[in-house]
Structure 1
Amino acid sequence: MRFAGTVQEVAVGPLVVAASDAALDLPAFDLGVVFSEWGLVPMSVIVTVWGIGLYALGVVAMRRRGDRWPVGRSIAWGVGMAAFYFATSSGLAAYDTVLLSAHMVQHMVLSMVVPLSLALGAPVTLALRTLPGTPRKWLLVLLHSRLAKVLGFPPLAFALYVLSPWALYFTGWYDASLDSTYVHEMMHVHLVAVGALFFWPIVGVDPLPGRVAHPFRVLLTVMTLPFHAFLGVTIMGQSTLLGGDHYPSLHDGPMGSWLPDPFDDQNLAGGILWGAGDLVGVVFFVVLFIQWVKSSMKEAEREDRRLDRLERQQRLAATGDPTPPRRASE
C-alpha cells in the first residue's frame, strides 16, 4: 500500500490506485521497494508523456527536413523526464511522506538532477527551429517579455533557489504538504520550476534572458554549495522534528515495527541534503567548465577566421591579389 498526503492508496499489481479508507502499510524501505512500489500519479504521467512526446516530434521534424539535432541533447532531455517520473511515481514517491530521508532524495532529484538535465536538452532552441510561424512568434514574444527578463535575472533566480528550501522546511509549508495532496504535488512543481530558473540560463544553450559570462556562472555555482551544506547541517542539528507529529504518529500503525527513530531519520535526511548537494554541485561545475572550454575554443576559431579575413583584405588592398603567398615548402 501507499500513502500520499491525506490520500491513502492500495497497490494493485505493480501499480497503485487511490482508496480513501485503506490502512497505511508499506514494507520496510530498501532499494528493492524503490523499484517495486510504483504509483499511478496523473500529473507525473501527463507531464512525462507530453514532455517526451513533444520533444520527439520536434526532433523528427528536424530530421525530416534534413537538419541534424545533437543526440546528446535528446539523451539529456530523456534523462530529465525519466528522473522526474522516477522521483514522483516510483517507490521513492511512495515513501516520501513516510521517511524524511526518502523525501530528501526526491527533493535533490527534482531540484537539481531534473532541471540540469532538461536545460542541457535545449527544448527552447528545438521549438524555435521547428514551430510554425504564429506559435514561434508567440514564443519569441514570451522570451523577450518583461516577465521573462525578471524571472531570468540571475540574482533573483539565485535567491529563489537558495532560500526556497529554507522556506519549505522552516515554515508551515512542509507540514501542509504532508496534509494535502494538492500542496504536495505543487511542492514538486515548485522544486523543478525554481531549479529550472537557476540552471537554465547558466548551463543551458537556449537563448534565454539572464545569460551571463562563464566566470559569473562559475561564481554562482560555487556560491550555492555552502547553502546546501549549511541547510543540511541545520536540519541535522534541529531539536524539533520537521513535520511535527506526522512521522512519530506513523509508529502507532502497522509500520511501527520497521520505521526508524524520527530523529535518526531526520539526521540522515540532513546528511543526504548536505552530501548530495555537494555531489550534484560538483557535477554541475564540471558540466559548466566543459561548456566554458568549448566556448573558448569556438571563440578562438572565430577570432582566427576574423584575422584571416582581415589579412586577406589588407593583402588585396596592397597588391590586388587575394591569395596568400605560397610557402617555400610548397
Structure 2
Amino acid sequence: MGLVVTVAAAAVEPLPEFGASALLSEWSLAPVPLVATVWGTGLYVLGVLALHRRGDRWPVGRSIAWGVGMLAFYLATSSGLAAYDTVLLSVHMVQHMVLSMIVPLSLALGAPVTLALRTLPRRPRGWLLAVLHSRVAKVLGFPPLAFGLYVVSPWALYFTGWYDASLSSTYVHEMMHVHLVAVGALFFWPIVGVDPLPGRVSHPFRVLLTVMTLPFHAFLGVTIMGQTALLGGDHYPSLHDGPMGAWLPDPRADQELAGGILWGAGDLVGLVFFVVLFVQWVRASTKEAEREDRRLDREEARARAAQE
C-alpha cells in the first residue's frame, strides 16, 4: 500500500454539515499530534514541579501560555478542524492561522528553553547550550531570514503545486502542518525574547518586524479572495459529486471566505502580538530605569561618604 495515502479519497467519506457540533463530534485520535501534545505538556509540567520542589517560582502566565499553545495545536490537528481541513478551504485557513500564529506565539511565551536550562541535569543542559550557541541556531535565528521565510511560505504554499500535493498525499499534508508551526516558531521565538535564543533584537526592531508582517497577510488574503482560479484545482468542486454535495458551499464563495479569514485573522493576531511586544517594551524600559536609579543612588551615597 505504501506510506503515501491519498487524502482526497478520505475526504469524500460522508461528513455531517460543518458547524459547532461537527467541531466537537468529528474528533480523531491522530497518533503523532496526540504523542506530541502529551509529551510536550508532560515534560513542561515536570519542569515546573521540579522548580517548585526546590523552592523556586515559575510565572503562572508562562504555564498558561504553554498550555494554550499545546491545546491549540491539538485542536488544530485532531478536532473537527482536522476532519474538515480538506473539505472546506475556509476551515483549512482557520487551521493554518492557528498553526502558524497562535501555536508558535503561545509556546514562545511559555519560555520552555528557560525552563529546561533551569531544571535539566548538568550534562543535558550542556548539550542544550551547545545547540543554542551553534552556527545552525544562529543562522535559523537570524531575524531577517526568519521574517523572509514567514512571509514567503504562505505564498509558496498556495501559488505553487505544494497545496495541491497536500490534498493528495497524507505525508505532504502532515509535513505542511509541521512546516507552519516550525516557520512560525522561527519568527516568533526570537522576537518574543523570553528565552535566551540567538537572534534576539531590540524592542523597537521587534515591533517593526511585527508591523511589517501585517500588510503581507492582508495582501495575500485579498489576492486569494480575488483570484479566479480555485485553490486545489478540481479537488473542492469534485466533492460536490459525492454525498456531501447537499450541504457543501460553492467553492468560489468558500475561497472568498478563506481569503477573508486569512486577512482578518492575520491582522487580529498581529495586533495582539504588537500589544504583547509593547507591554514587554514598557516593562523592560521600567526595569532599566529602576536599575539606573539604583546605580545613581549608590554613586550619590559613595560621594556623600567620601565627603564625610
Q: How does 1:80-99 map to 2 (within 5 A)?
A: 80-99=69-88
Matched residue SS, 1:35 = helix
| Structure 1 Cα separation of the partners of residues 119 and 11 of structure 2 | 48
Query: Which deviates more, 196-205 or 133-142?
Result: 196-205
**Identical-pair percentage:** 81
Q: How many residues align?
A: 305
Structure 1 stretches (4+) deviating beyond 4 angstroms?
A: 20-23
Match runs of 1:271-290 below 5 Å = 271-290=260-279
Question: Matched residue of 2:29: which SS?
Answer: coil
Check the 8 A contact 1:251/1:259 in 2, yes or no. yes
Mapping of 1:1-330 within 5 angstroms? 6-7=6-7, 24-319=13-308
Residues 204-225 of structure 1: CA deviation (Å, up to 9, x unaligned): 4000111111111110010000
Instruction: State the AA in 1 paired with 2:245.
Output: G
SS of match in other structure, 1:241? coil
CA contact (8 A) 2:7 2:167 kept: no
For the residue of structure 1 that corresponds to 2:58, the secondary structure is: coil
Deviation, 1:316, is 2.3
CA 219–96 in structure 1, closer or farther in 2 if over 3 Å, else same: same
Q: Which moved more, 1:123-132 or 1:30-39?
A: 30-39
Residue-by-residue CA offset, 1:126-175 (whole Å, 9 max, x unaligned): 00000000100000011111011101101000000000000000011101
Paired amino acid for 1:48: T
Q: What is the alpha-carbon root mean square deviation over aligned residues?
A: 1.5
Separation in 2, partners of 1:90, 1:121: 23
Q: Check the 8 A contact 1:102/1:269 in 2, yes or no.
A: yes
Q: Is the 8 A contact 1:177 1:184 kept in 2?
A: yes
- AA aligned to 2:273 is F
- Quote the Cα distance in structure 1 between the aligned partners of 2:134 and 2:150: 22
Gap change, CA 1:92 and 1:5, over 3 Å in 2: farther
For residues 309 and 30 of structure 1, what CA distance do their matches in structure 2 show? 64
For 1:282, the aligned partner's letter is L
Distance in structure 1 (CA, Å) of the matches to 2:187 and 2:11:
40
TM-score (norm 2): 0.96
Name the CA shift for 1:35/1:109 in 2 (closer, same or farther; >3 Å). Answer: same
AA matched with 2:162? W
**For residues 102-123 of structure 1, what are the alpha-carbon distances to aligned partners after superposition, in whole Å with 9 as ceiling and x for unaligned?**
0000000000000110000000
1:35 Cα offset (Å): 1.5
Unaligned runs of 5+ in 2: none
Work out the CA distance in 1 between the residues paired with 2:129 and 2:246. Answer: 57
Inter-partner Cα distance in structure 2 for 1:23 and 1:253: 6
- Mark the structure with the bigger radius of gyration: 1
Q: Secondary structure at the match of 2:230?
A: coil
Say if 1:5 and 1:178, in contact at 8 Å, map to a contact too.
no
Structure with greater helix share of residues: 2
1:22–1:111 CA distance, 2 compared to 1 (3 A): closer
1:257 & 1:68 partners in 2: Cα distance?
Answer: 56
How big is the shift at 1:22? 9.7
- Contact 1:5 1:97 (C-alpha < 8 Å) held by counterparts: no
Distance change (3 Å), C-alpha of 1:133 and 1:193: same
CA distance 1:21–1:65, change in 2 (3 Å): closer
Query: Which structure has the higher relative contact order (CA within 8 Å, separation 6+)?
Result: 2
Which amino acid letter does the alignment assign opposite residue 187 of structure 1? M
Secondary structure (helix, strand or coil) at the match of 1:68 reads coil
After superposition, the Cα gap between the structure-2 partners of 1:258 and 1:185, relative to the gap in structure 1 and judged at 3 Å, is same
Normalising by structure 1, we get a TM-score of 0.90
